[in-house]
Amino acid sequence: MNYYGLRFFAVLLVLFGVVMISGVESGDVAFDTNYNVVWGDYKHASVLKHGRQARLSLDAQSGGGFVCKQQYGSGFFNMRIKLAGRNTAGVVTAFYLASSGNYGHDELDFEFLGDKEGKPIRLQTNVFANGKGNREQKVVLWFDPAADYHDYKILWNHRLIAFYVDDIPIRAFRNNKKIGVEYPTQAMQIHVSIWNGDSWATDGGRTKINWTYAPFTAHFQSFNVDGCPSTNGRRKCHSASSYWWNQRKYWNFNRTMRRKYQIVRDKFMNYDYCNDTTRHPTTPPECAPNHFKNKH
């Protein structure tokens, strides 16, 4: 489908109306309230506008990153991001949750894969559970993510993991432990970074970073965190009375959300591990077509 066709379907997404996930998200706070810079000097990682904005840059010397101070056992995590623009092939900007350690880890990823001038940036998501990943999905964004800020959100409760762009669902991963599919349950921290991914991110690694366009700078806002601190214990972090995102209505998408989700899958998704028979000769069990028809 050409650019104008994608724009047409983007308009359809908007015409379905804005359906907010929740009206009870906490207000914005200063960066230092919840986050620390952990990678990059001031040139590569800085906090601006009295703590209401952060900036990460990548050049040939370094990238940058920051991490949330707290670990969480569930939540609804949001970051407002404006990506670097102009010839970002090979540049990866990431917003993700990850447990500690590399063995048997859990992780929920947003990864923005840069590209050459004039080509749309792809947004890759992935889900790791107990060390098993290889669940990549990629969508072509229906807007220029370098032109302005947009909200990128992850809902995580004990029944559903959902990824949103603004208020449009782009991915869902259900708890299917009953059929042998691992589900993220470990405490996780929020990570944000920009880094050199030109070994794989664009054209399978064939297109490298053009450093004459460096530094590549991304900007971030919204440093409040709606999460259950893992120190509360799993029981409380799964409690619907304590945290709104655990309520039954957030175990699934409503009708409007399902329609938006289907448009994204039909018109904007350009890779789904569920359909990759080379990597997965046997269809993964969580890829069943009745993904949202299960009864609770």
Assign residue 110 the CATH number of its domain: 2.60.120.200
Contacts 24+ apart (CB under 8 A), 246-251: 246/74, 246/157, 246/158, 248/296, 250/21, 250/155, 250/157, 250/159, 250/160, 251/157, 251/159, 251/160, 251/296
The pTM assigned to this predicted structure is 0.92
- Model confidence band, residue 28 (pLDDT cutoffs 50, 70, 90): confident
Alpha-carbon separation of residue 40 from 43, 56, 128 (angstroms): 7, 8, 26
**Position 295 in a domain:** no
- Alpha-carbon Rg for the chain in angstroms: 19
| Domain interval for residue 229 | 31-290
**Position 7 in a domain:** no
Domain count, the chain: 1
Do the beta carbons of residue 126 and residue 109 sit within 8 Å? yes
- Per residue in 190-218, pLDDT tens? 999 999 999 999 999 999 999 999 999 99
Q: Mapped to the 3 state alphabet, what secondary structure does 187-231 carry?
A: CEEEEEEEEECCCCCCHHHCCCCCHHHCCEEEEEECCCCEEEEHH
Alpha-carbon separation of residue 114 from 31, 125, 233 (angstroms): 26, 14, 38
Which among 139, 154, 164 has a CA at the least distance from the CA of 184?
Answer: 154
**Position 23 in a domain:** no
- Model confidence band, residue 280 (pLDDT cutoffs 50, 70, 90): very high
**Position 116 in a domain:** yes
**Position 9 in a domain:** no
**Position 163 in a domain:** yes
- Model confidence band, residue 9 (pLDDT cutoffs 50, 70, 90): low
Strand order in the sheet with 35-39: 35-39, 64-68, 189-196, 91-98, 107-113, 122-128, 137-140, 269-272
- Model confidence band, residue 294 (pLDDT cutoffs 50, 70, 90): very low
**Position 124 in a domain:** yes
Compute the distance between CA of residue 161 and CA of residue 182 in angstroms, rounded to an integer. 13
CB atoms within 10 A of CB 148: 10
**Position 64 in a domain:** yes
- Catalytic positions are 107, 111
Q: Which helix (H) or strand (E) holds 31?
A: helix 31-34
pLDDT at 103 over 90: no
